[in-house]
Amino acid sequence: MNYAVIDVGGTFTKYAVMTDEGEFLRKGKIPTETLDLDRFLGSIAGIYEDAAAKEADIAGVALSMPGFLDVETGYAYNGGGVYCVKEMNLIEALQERIPVPVTMENDARCAALAELWHGNLAGCQNAAALILGTGVGGGIIVNGEILRGKHFVAGELSYFMMEDMGSELSEGKIAALAASARGLVGMVAEAKGIPSEELDGIKVFKMIEDGDETVREVLRKFARNVARIICNIQIIIDPERVVVGGGISTQPLLIEMIREEARRTMKLFTWVDMPVPEIEPCRFFNDSNLIGALYSHKSQLRNRR
């Protein structure tokens, strides 16, 4: 059996036709419709129709997208940056247009599930994934299952509080900026007096490679922020392993700094032998949400039987 697998992002929607075991047969992408619900639903149905026309045995549609999603009922409380999806049963709306089973899963949880299925969390019973992008996505694995929580916000690490919030919400005090790739670029821009629009992750690491010690120290501070989140997760669920994803996680220097800062943080507990988190980069990057969406689709259908 083959599946149409779709990863909805804030700018582009990636899609693929995949086999039952997660092999990619073909891929593509289209701009994401974020404001008009009918056009958004039509774009998802159109991807299915194109796949079904070219592959006669499309058995289902697996959807990855941002937001607070009840995967059992199909209800989307919000769609994150897909603003047209809010307080609605998204699966029911899609099933009116698509004749095969449709499932959905939060995009960061999909990344964690991809690692659990075929990646660097394979075989783990308790584990976590941090995805460093525009915000900080997260997936928490407990007893071999993804943790969603009562209100479907488990793993929404962008809202992790990094310091005293006081009486007013400040984005700089939560992980959305302090520990995201976007946040790293902003921190470097501030330190160097450069407009953030002129920087990206590639340029940041090139500056370090060229010997810029100021930027290296900013990266160290950033790694400390990420390590703080990981250490707190370690204390809460005591995972076997934590993986770090997102484009900047391909940089070995960042992973090593996060490991160093995690070790340093745990040694602060001098009166107890606190375990140091095992930290690895994710195995899958651009394809992780697609792979995890398929894994979630298969799991959800299996649980319904």
Higher pLDDT, 161 or 117: 117
Q: Is residue 295 part of a domain?
A: yes
165 band by pLDDT with thresholds 50, 70 and 90 = low
177 band by pLDDT with thresholds 50, 70 and 90 = confident
Residue type, 79: G
- Look at strands 86-89 and 102-106 and give their pairing: unpaired
Higher pLDDT, 25 or 285: 25
Say yes or no: 43 and 100 in one domain: yes
> Which pLDDT belongs to residue 285?
81
C-beta neighbour count of 46 within 10 angstroms = 14
Say yes or no: 155 and 271 in one domain: yes
The count of structural domains within the chain is 2
Least Cα distance to 25 among 261, 290, 264, 238 occurs for: 290
> Which pLDDT belongs to residue 184?
95
Q: Is residue 115 part of a domain?
A: no
Say yes or no: 100 and 127 in one domain: no
Question: Can you tell me the distance from the alpha carbon of 200 to that of 248, in angstroms, rounded to the nearest whole number?
Answer: 10
In 238-287, where does DSSP find H-type helix? 252-267
DSSP 172: G
Say yes or no: 136 and 266 in one domain: yes
DSSP 248: G
Say yes or no: 21 and 44 in one domain: yes
> Which pLDDT tens digit goes with each residue over 51-73?
999 887 899 999 999 999 999 99
What CATH number has the domain bearing residue 138?
Answer: 3.30.420.40
Say yes or no: 101 and 127 in one domain: no
Q: Is the dihedral of CA 196, 160, 78, 291 positive or negative?
A: positive
Question: Can you tell me the distance from the alpha carbon of 281 to that of 243, in angstroms, rounded to the nearest whole number?
Answer: 5
> Which pLDDT belongs to residue 162?
83
Query: Is 268 within 8 Å of 232 (Cβ atoms)?
Result: no
Bridge partners of 281?
A: 244
Question: Can you tell me the distance from the alpha carbon of 189 to that of 95, in angstroms, rounded to the nearest whole number?
Answer: 46
Say yes or no: 143 and 255 in one domain: yes
Q: Is residue 114 part of a domain?
A: no
Question: Can you tell me the distance from the alpha carbon of 71 to that of 201, in angstroms, rounded to the nearest whole number?
Answer: 33
Bridge partners of 13?
A: 8, 30
> Which pLDDT tens digit goes with each residue over 105-159?
999 999 999 999 999 999 999 999 999 988 898 999 999 999 999 999 998 898 8
Say yes or no: 125 and 263 in one domain: yes
Q: Is residue 111 part of a domain?
A: no
DSSP 112: H
> Which pLDDT belongs to residue 290?
97
Residue type, 248: I
**Residue carrying structure tokens 């994934």:** 129
**Residue 171 reports pLDDT greater than 60:** no
Question: Can you tell me the distance from the alpha carbon of 155 to that of 236, in angstroms, rounded to the nearest whole number?
Answer: 12
% of the chain at pLDDT higher than 70 = 97
Q: Is residue 260 part of a domain?
A: yes
Evaluate if pTM is beyond 0.85: yes
Q: Is the dihedral of CA 155, 175, 198, 258 positive or negative?
A: negative
Question: Can you tell me the distance from the alpha carbon of 147 to that of 158, in angstroms, rounded to the nearest whole number?
Answer: 16
Query: Is 296 within 8 Å of 113 (Cβ atoms)?
Result: yes
> Helices (H), strands (E): how many in the chain?
9, 13
Question: Can you tell me the distance from the alpha carbon of 121 to that of 244, in angstroms, rounded to the nearest whole number?
Answer: 11
**Residue carrying structure tokens 């006081």:** 166
> Which pLDDT belongs to residue 286?
82
Q: Is the dihedral of CA 250, 247, 105, 60 positive or negative?
A: negative
Say yes or no: 89 and 138 in one domain: no
> Tokens for 117?
């299925």
The stretch 3-27 carries a mean pLDDT of 94
Q: Is residue 94 part of a domain?
A: yes
**Residue 299 reports pLDDT greater than 80:** yes
Say yes or no: 91 and 135 in one domain: no
> Tokens for 152?
């479907």
> Which pLDDT tens digit goes with each residue over 35-49?
999 999 999 999 999
Computed over every residue of the chain, the mean pLDDT equals 93
> Which pLDDT belongs to residue 163?
76
**Residue 287 reports pLDDT greater than 80:** yes
Q: Is residue 112 part of a domain?
A: no
**Residue 198 reports pLDDT greater than 80:** yes
Q: Could you tell me the residue range of the domain that residue 55 belongs to? A: 2-106+286-304
> Which pLDDT belongs to residue 176?
85
Say yes or no: 97 and 125 in one domain: no
Q: Is residue 71 part of a domain?
A: yes
First to last CA, the chain: 18
Say yes or no: 15 and 145 in one domain: no
170 band by pLDDT with thresholds 50, 70 and 90 = low
The stretch 167-185 carries a mean pLDDT of 80
